[in-house]
A and B are shown apart, each in its own frame.
Chain A
């Protein structure tokens, strides 16, 4: 048993072209580490150089935003779905 991590379309090329990956984990942090250990090329698109989740990358357990739960310590149970959803941000130079 494991949690299902849904891979957003733009990142599937770095995860064996899969829509989702099953990972054994007890927290969101473990699930994402398991995912990026398995698919190392994903890491730079999810995490910045200082090892923090990029500011525009949002993670949900089922429908709950982990920022409003226990962040990467948010517990996950077998059968949970972890979703990675970007905010789209940008803009011209100052």
Chain B
């Protein structure tokens, strides 16, 4: 374990699950906005985005650089940071694939929700290691008090 913690309110977790159900059997994706202070990272808002991989949406997702810039702009306007990304794995575990690893950067939180037969299952968060060799698991905790922007 890495010691990384991502605070994610239950209503925001439910929003990720609902997005994964809505797009099933295709992958969903979106941006995660939040704050990081004293080593603690908290999700404050989500920005659901369109999966641009029209050719293979069942097992791939893509957020275009234009959508990345849109998410960065929204984060600046809300005075928060773009801290990561979420996507679903339809009928597959909530673990990063080799394809995920090849297309990731460190620092971002990568939240993956497994959706099986249209129903959301486990949700995990991951951080790419500095040497790109693999991922560290990031514990998801539900904060006791609501926080929002």
Contact = CB atoms under 8 A, between A and B. Distances in A.
B97 A10 contact: no
A45 interface: yes
B92 interface: yes
Interface residues of A, number: 23
Contacts of B59: 91-94
B92 A93 contact: yes
B105 A11 contact: yes
Interface residues of B, number: 37
A87 B60 CA distance: 13
Interface string B85-113: 10101111000111110111111101000
B35 to A, nearest CB: 13
Interface stretch (B4-12, B62-70, B138-146): B62-70
A63 to B, nearest CB: 10
B6 to A, nearest CB: 15
B68 A85 contact: yes
Contacts of A41: 130
Interface of A: 8-11, 13, 41, 44-45, 54-56, 58, 65, 85-94
